[in-house]
Amino acid sequence: MLATTAFVLGPFIWMVSLSLKPPNEIFQAHFQLWPNTFYAVENYTKALTAAPLARFMLNGVIVCGVIVVAQILIAAPCAYALAKLRFPGRDALFGLVLIGLLVPQQVLAIPLFVLFFEAGILNSYASLILPFIISPFAIFLLRQFFKTIPDDLVDAARIDGLSELSIVRRIMLPAATPALIAFGILSVVSHWNDLFWPLIAVRSEDLMTPALGVVYFRNAEAGSDYGPLMAGATIIVAPLVLAFLMAQRRFIEMAAFGGGAKSSDGREG
């Protein structure tokens, strides 16, 4: 575990180390994490002033926030229907959800590009958000979580006069809070780091997301000056690390709940 952790965290530690070094120490022959000359102020100042990193991060917050909210609003009723309602074709629809999990994003890039071009919404927030508002993974995850909630609880809510959507909003979603937080973190990380689709969908600097902003910063401002480039990358990665550290308890709760819970028919969830 320690070896795996070191392998995963090594590039991030090296990134932070480079962001603290002056140019003459970055390519020195011997390995050294801590710089001889502390150059953090200069690197981080250039990273924040040479390119609009704040704007890139704001775009990331807007895009990721709207996407994750839309995904949950759409996925929750779908997952509830697949988990608790009985209707013809339910299993076939769930099969389509599983197929959706297997389709890579890159396969749909050209059809989406042509569709958005014809609709006139390329180079806009809509072009960054609309392809991702329906998440098969969110539907699958919530469906599996909802199946662990006893049917008796749902039947009692119906007897009390709650509609199906009210049951989703007032019972299912609060019970699935660990799963929602875990999915939210995964969704935000995925779209915050996404370079492929923003590189296709937008051209305006004002709409660039963090990953695309780093590429722009590398090409237009930083060049081969790796200190400011690593400082900019550290600034963009830091919110994700902090968000995960604050929400890690929810990941553990979801794993513990999902691993030991049983569905309403007595089988393992």
pLDDT tens, position by position, 142-164:
999 999 899 999 999 999 999 99
Please check whether residue 177 is in contact with residue 250, taking contact to mean a CB–CB distance below 8 angstroms: yes
Beta strand residue intervals within the chain, DSSP E: none
Express each pLDDT in 171-203 by its tens digit. Answer: 999 988 888 988 998 899 899 999 999 999 999
Closest CA to 61 of 235, 209, 234: 209
Residue 31 burial (10 A CB sphere; 0-12, 13-18, 19+): exposed
Question: Any idea what DSSP says for residue 20?
Answer: T
Domains of the chain listed by start with CATH number: 40-260 (1.10.3720.10)
Express each pLDDT in 231-268 by its tens digit. Answer: 988 998 888 888 777 777 766 666 565 544 443 343 43
Helix axes 53-84, 177-192, angle to 10 degrees: 140
Q: What percent of the chain has pLDDT over 70?
A: 90
